[in-house]
Amino acid sequence: MKNELEQYLQNINKELYSFAFALLPDDLQVTQIILDSITVLLLERSELVETLNICETEEDKANTFLSIKMFLYRHIYKLIDKRAEQLKGSIETQSEYSEYNGLGLVEKAVLFFRSKTHLGFEDIAFILGEGKTEIFQHLANGRQNLALRAGIQMEGNL
Amino acid sequence: MSENNQLDKDDLEGSRYLYADKNKDLYLNTFKNKRCPQSNKVFLLLDRDDSEQKLKSLTDHVAQCDVCREQLKKQRSYAFKIDELIPRPTVPRSLQVEFESELAQLIKDFSFTAKPVPSDIGFWSRLKTKFLS
């Protein structure tokens, strides 16, 4: 069972890492934050991990894995939210994404999810601990602010 | 990458949904609460949670309307530019190796101590406080 979990976590590391790195562009911090989130999972949601043992169908197993992934995304976001402020000024941001890096944390998270993953609004709302309406608002603000920073002139909203 | 490491099939499937979802977003952001100057049609009731049927009526209209199609083309160009400003998914190979080794150790540690003995309770409590406070 543990091996199956380990394999799953290895497979989704790229997704988790990409999200975390988009919010906090420091590779070592990000790796540690992902490992810390997995520690929280093993400590706090051992029953979820144990559920993998008793899943009768592949669908049940896929749903359990999905719950694990959502839990990890949520805790990665929480940890970054706490650490980003402490690390402010000590992180060298990539010049390639300077406009994006200058946005607020929640705007960056929503933009990343909508642009680079196929997560729906409900999943994003769960991960960020907000309502769907707020997520729509963050998305609209994030796009406007990013366009403004990059000097993209737009007609109407995007 | 897919959950079973079957990169091709699941990645393509993921891209398909992502594409459909982004297209829907694009249509909604371009036309919501706007009036088509040519047909005078208003898309007032359209929202993200609306049915595919409503979206289809809009896409059918856009397919036939030069003014709306031009508007969509402009918005698509903005969307593409904005997309380019958002970091691409990545993970350095060296860190993936380091991650896998740390993960293996973590899983091993927890498999040996899944049920804490009484003398460990203080340690577990401190660990929980550290991560969850």
Distances (CA, A) of B109 to A47, B63, B105: 17, 59, 6
Higher pLDDT, B41 or A25: A25
Contact B18 A39 (CB under 8 A): no
Question: What pLDDT, on the 0 to 100 scale, is given for residue B42?
Answer: 65
Judging contacts by C-beta atoms under 8 Å, the chain A residues touching residue B90 are 14, 17-18, 21
pLDDT at B3: 41
Per-residue pLDDT tens digits for B19-34: 666 777 788 777 777 7
> A22–B104: do the CB atoms touch at under 8 Å?
no
For residue B102, give the nearest of A2, A35, A143 by CB distance: A35
Task: Say whether B18 and A8 touch across the interface (CB within 8 A).
Answer: no
Residues A81-108: pLDDT tens digits? 998 877 776 666 667 899 999 999 999 9
Q: pLDDT for B46-97, tens place per residue?
A: 666 666 777 777 788 888 888 888 888 888 888 888 889 999 888 888 888 8
Q: B91-119: per-residue pLDDT in tens?
A: 888 888 889 899 998 888 887 555 555 55
Q: Which chain A positions have a beta carbon within 8 Å of B3's beta carbon?
A: 8, 11-12, 62, 65
Name every chain A residue with its beta carbon within 8 A of the beta carbon of B83. 115
**Residue A33's closest chain B neighbor by CA?**
B131
Taking CB atoms and an 8 Å limit, are B110 and A27 in contact across chains? no
Rounded to two decimals, the pTM is 0.78
Judge whether B53 and A82 are in contact, CB under 8 Å: no
Residue A94 is predicted with a pLDDT of 61
pLDDT above 80 for B12: no
Are A20 and A76 contacting, i.e. CB atoms less than 8 angstroms apart? yes
When mean pLDDT is compared over A130-139, A149-158, B5-14, B123-132, the highest value belongs to A130-139
Among B94, B57, B130, smallest CA distance to A27 is for B94
With beta carbons under 8 A apart, name residues in chain B contacting A44.
128, 132
SS3 track for chain A: CHHHHHHHHHHHHHHHHHHHHHHCCCHHHHHHHHHHHHHHHHHHCHHHHHHHHHCCCHHHHHHHHHHHHHHHHHHHHHHHHHHHHHHCCCCCCCHHHHHHHCCCHHHHHHHHHHHHCCCCHHHHHHHHCCCHHHHHHHHHHHHHHHHHHCCCCCCCCC
pLDDT score, position B124: 61
The answer to whether A20 contacts chain B (CB < 8 Å) is no
Tens-place pLDDT, residues A27-53 = 889 999 999 999 999 988 888 888 887
**A70 neighbourhood in chain B, CB within 8 Å:** none
Tell me the shortest Cα–Cα distance from B61 to chain A, in angstroms: 20
Q: Chain A, 82-101: which have a CB under 8 Å from a chain B CB?
A: 94, 97, 99-100
pLDDT over 90 (residue A138): yes
Give the ipTM: 0.84
* Strand partners of residue B42: B35
pLDDT per position as a tens digit, A49-89: 888 878 888 888 889 999 999 999 999 999 999 988 777 76
